[in-house]
A and B are shown apart, each in its own frame.
Chain A
Amino acid sequence: MTTNFRACALALTCLAALAAARAAAQQVATPRLDGSIELGMRGYLESVPVVQRSKLEEYRDLGAGAFLPAFWLRYWTGDGRYAVDLRARDVARGDQEYRLRAFRVGKGGLEADWGQLPHLFATNARMLGSASASSGFTLPTPRPTTADWNAAPLLAPARVRWEPARAALWAAPSSRLDLRVEYTRIGKSGERPMGMAFGSPGSNTREILEPIDQTVHTLRLTQSYAAARWQVQTAYTFSAFRNDASSVLADNPLVATNGATTGAARGRTALAPDNVAHTVNVAAAAALPLRSRVNASVSYAVHLQDVAFLPHTINSAISNPGLALPRTALGGDVRTSVIDVGAVSRALPALTLGLHFRRFDLSDRTGELVFPAHVVNDRSLATTEPEDARRFPFSRDNARAEARWTPVPALALRAEYGWERWARDTAVRDVGVTNEHTPRLAADLTPAPWLQLHASVSRAWKRGDGYTPLSDAELPLLRRFDMADRIRDRADVVVVVTPIEPVTLSGTFSARTDDYDRSVYGLQFDRGRAAGADVTWAPGPRLALSAGYLREATRVRQRSKYRQGTALDNPTFDWVSWTDDVVETLSGSVTATIVPGRLSAFATWARSRATSEWPATNPTTPAGGTAAQNTSATATNLPTLEDELTPARLMARVQLARDWSASVGFDYERLTERDFRTDGLLPATGSDIFLGAGPSGYRARVLWASIGFRPALGRARPIL
């Protein structure tokens, strides 16, 4: 109700502003005012229960009642030199957005934006106990029973609200120089589900809500200078992240008393630490003789983080000299540098040559940090092996040479060769250097005005300088996909046909395969095929139709081995699994002008249906281990995941008078989903405690109507 009241009040204010502006414009002929406002009402034919709204309103506010979807007002001074532009969207709603611009044409101006972005995570979460910022998630003693948990009350919807705000000032003191200062603040507040492990008894976990109270500040200064044959740009960006919730506390649902080996009464998890980043960038481009151009960009960034560490545990029953912290904070210092150089030449007719080189380097200057002991999930002390806080520096080089030849206007041929090299630290990664070579061919053909063809094909070979597992615990023949040898194939075909003028048909086909040809274990291949077609037809100026279909299918195969206790290399414990995804997307739209200038109608419909199958099998029936091991090593298919989203809109728009229009519409949106991992999940499942939350299907049928006012303010004059 409050939202409706605010929306109505704002709408009336905006209408009054527009009316006043119109009156003023009639009195003062010189300045020009433009503006529009739309005000509407929305109602559900049948209400969608709150517990089903987590996906419906994941990023938007679709509450029933009054709404003000759009407001716009622009004022031009009489000489056309200055303007003020105000736009608003979804006024007074949870996803509202406002934008103000004031500028002098071609000289400079300022901009300010503010908005709200909801991110709804769960509307059907349940939990016992109480929660507060200082004491976290507390439970009574003795701890609740399974029955208590499964009868836990619903929580308020878990959501995080983003509030991005931006202010920018820009100026062009001369036709060569552009300056810009921009400050952005993103505030995030709310809560979202998270898990906390307790490790006792039975390595139990409890799902709670992560408190979100974060702010991201970004200041960006940019300058661009353009001379006749060269340009240079410089930029400095400062970004600071602040988290006012540095940790979260939660009671163990199974243990009420701290013990040195039996578990902790409560646990504490660190949340994201504050950090800052500075980035400097210089970019330049210059025109060279012979229709050539060279450009370059150099960036250097420093990422810092030095938030004080929490103690190893809050379990008072655990103490050990090894738990003394070697430093009070990380002193994290990561530097990234990027050098990029490119050149393009069209010195020869019909031939374009390009060269490009890029080097990205990440160096981690954080000092070495070794922890002689640690505490596992606030439950138990571990002193057998010191833990080294490893850093992961790397560099990545890319080079590309390409030639594009257009022998005749109807044909363009392109040949490209690309190279990528990753260099990692072998002290912390399994592979030091990988090289990938990618030749690529492409053609664009327009044999007739009604036919366009594009085709491209590439094959890439990625090879490393030897895979050496870092850890004894790791399966020796595992090849992690980001470092593994790979053959990558890509092929794309696009056909656009315009058989008769108002009809356009297009078809696409793409195939991609990542074949990890030398990986005995780990990801084996990742293959995808996509095919689609679109048609647009405008039989007349008053009717336009379009339809599209896209089918995407991917298959991922991976191989693993169950390794438990002393049974680390039982050959029958191998298992193979696939992830088979198929996504089909259908869409269609109709736009009709029924009475020119008076009545128009619009309809759109789409359906996206996805299935994900998880078959798994053992090449050989598991045997040779204990009965429990054999059972654990036995692979079975996991249930199929499915979802289907169908949004549709049918609307008509009537021009009531010169300044007034009205729209009526019917929105339909239906989601069905099937996910065994969250559907019907009880809070007490096994020895774990969940929120019992998960996305729910829904069907929303919404009727809405709106009225738009767009007065002809000022004069629509020829400016001569």
Chain B
Amino acid sequence: MRAITMKLLGPAVVAVAALAAVPPAARAQNRYVGSEQCFDCHKDEYRHFAATPKGKLFLEQPRTEDQKRGCEGCHGPGEAHVQSGGEDMTGLIRFGKAGGLTAAAQNAICLRCHDRTARLFWEGSAHEARGVACTSCHTVMSSVSDRAQLKKSTVAETCGQCHKDRTAQLLRFTHMPLREGQMDCTSCHNPHGSPNEKLLRAASVDEVCTSCHAEKRGPFLWEHAPVVESCSNCHDAHGSNHEKMLKISKPRLCQQCHIETSHPTGPQSATATRFVMGRQCTNCHFNIHGSNHPSGFAFTR
């Protein structure tokens, strides 16, 4: 079935992209020669690849025509390359910058198989639109990371190749435990595309956050409107120099909205005890994410 799928899947994108890089003469004479030929010269690469799950699939347990071609399943027919003693690269699909193929053309090779599940929304996604190649983040030929055959040893390092500001935020005074390796960027984001904002894994910021912080999901008897609408109204989940990953410190954060009467409206001095010391506003308004107490409308119970 996969074979039929692959035949039907030979979309214009793949064909045009891959074949455009191959001169007509080379295409005409290029045929598949088998992975044995590759091993003769590329022993180390072959061995590294063979030890990966993808290597097992392609070299030992192929299910599709592409997979049965082994190395050539991704790199294209190698006859011209072999016959030229390795000199002629024109018939080959090479990944990375050196190959000269566009990111879209390279990605099309991967998407022949990986076009579903987490990649369903790849086309049109932020990374696809910016010309990110699969090989920008993944390396197929060896195992560098524990999972997902990433180019770097961790997800955070992989994403940090481009998102340097986020990497810097991991060093902030309050941060999620990414630096400690207890979660990673993909805990919240799907870098392969998502129908949701910021490539989030769930339909809203709140749904992402409450998948772990379910105690803040509610519904509560007394709701706090900004909490219902988005955790990111007050928090910066990538890290902050303020307590609790807040965008700015309390009481100023709360005072951006609360100008009714009495204590929220005062500028407060450094000696204003409970309004600025300790936990500031949440010294009393502890249940600020919502309360289920009948007298908890001010989130103090």
Contact = CB atoms under 8 A, between A and B. Distances in A.
B283 A195 contact: yes
A392 B55 CA distance: 53
B172 A583 contact: yes
B28 interface: no
Given A81-B60, A579-B252, A645-B173, A332 B220 contact: yes
A293 B259 contact: no
Given A175-B63, A568-B261, A562 B267 contact: yes
Interface in B277-301: 277-280, 282-287, 290-297, 300-301
A391 interface: yes
Nearest to A695: B173
A338 B268 CA distance: 43
B221 A369 contact: yes
Contact of A612 (B129, B242, B260, B294): B242
Interface in A605-638: 606, 608, 610, 612, 614, 616, 618, 632-636, 638
B218 interface: yes
Contacts of B286: 194-197, 269
B95 interface: no
Grouping DSSP codes into helix (H, G, I), strand (E, B) and loop, the B interface class, with mixed when no group exceeds half, is: loop
B154 to A, nearest CB: 12
A312 interface: yes
Contact of B301 (A344, A377, A579, A638): A377
Contacts of B46: 718
A303 B123 contact: no
B226 interface: yes
Contacts of A89: 181
A267 B284 CA distance: 12
B267 A560 contact: yes
Interface stretch (A355-363, A592-600, A702-710): A355-363
Contacts of A119: 177
A239 B214 contact: yes
Identify which of A58, A204, A556, A677 gathers the most chain B CB atoms within 10 Å of its CB. Answer: A677
Given A291-B12, A309-B221, A311-B294, A522 B117 contact: no
Contact of A269 (B248, B257, B301): B301
B211 to A, nearest CB: 7
A270 B2 CA distance: 56
A157 B273 CA distance: 24
Given A76-B56, A677-B278, A614 B252 contact: yes
Contacts of B292: 270, 272-273, 305, 307, 309-310, 330
A119 B165 CA distance: 25
Given A336-B204, A522-B256, A312 B294 contact: yes
Contact of A80 (B56, B197, B214): B56
A583 B168 contact: yes
Interface in A168-222: 174-176, 178, 186, 193-197, 203-205, 207, 214, 216, 218, 222
A251 interface: no
A346 interface: yes
Interface stretch (A128-136, A143-151, A681-689): A681-689
A690 interface: yes
Given A106-B63, A197-B284, A522-B256, A585 B168 contact: yes
Interface stretch (B3-11, B84-92, B134-142): B3-11
Interface in A327-386: 330, 332-334, 336, 338, 340, 342-344, 346, 352, 354, 356, 358, 360, 362, 364, 366, 369, 371, 374-378
Contacts of B220: 273, 305, 330, 332
B171 A645 contact: yes
Contact of A473 (B64, B260, B296): B260
Contact of A270 (B51, B180, B241, B291): B291
Contacts, number: 408
A581 interface: yes
B291 to A, nearest CB: 6
Interface in A386-417: 387, 389-392, 394, 398, 402, 404, 409, 412, 414
A474 interface: yes
Interface size class of B (residues with CB under 8 A): 35 or more
Contact of B260 (A59, A231, A273, A475): A475
Interface residues of A, number: 188
Identify which of B9, B55, B121, B257 gathers the most chain A CB atoms within 10 Å of its CB. Answer: B257
Contacts of A228: 4-5, 8-9
Contacts of B217: 241, 275, 277, 303
A550 interface: yes
Contacts of B301: 197, 267-270, 377-378
A450 to B, nearest CB: 12
Nearest to A522: B256
B278 A681 contact: yes
A295 B96 CA distance: 28
A275 B218 contact: yes
Given A106-B63, A482-B226, A614-B252, A59 B180 contact: yes
A303 B59 contact: no
A344 B61 contact: no
A482 B229 contact: yes
A563 B207 CA distance: 37
Given A60-B180, A106-B61, A412 B259 contact: no
Interface of B: 1-2, 4-5, 8-9, 11-13, 35-36, 39, 43, 46-47, 50-51, 53, 55-57, 59-61, 63-64, 102, 115-117, 120-121, 123-124, 129-131, 146, 164-165, 168, 171-173, 177, 180-182, 195-197, 203-204, 207, 210-212, 214-223, 225-226, 228-229, 233, 241-242, 248-249, 252, 255-257, 259-262, 265-270, 273-274, 276-280, 282-287, 290-297, 300-301
19 contacts: A174-B1, A222-B117, A270-B296, A301-B207, A305-B220, A311-B294, A312-B294, A375-B295, A389-B221, A409-B102, A478-B257, A481-B257, A522-B257, A561-B265, A638-B270, A638-B276, A645-B171, A677-B276, A717-B50
List 5 A-B pairs, minimum CB-CB distance, nearest first: A175-B2, A228-B8, A80-B60, A332-B219, A272-B215
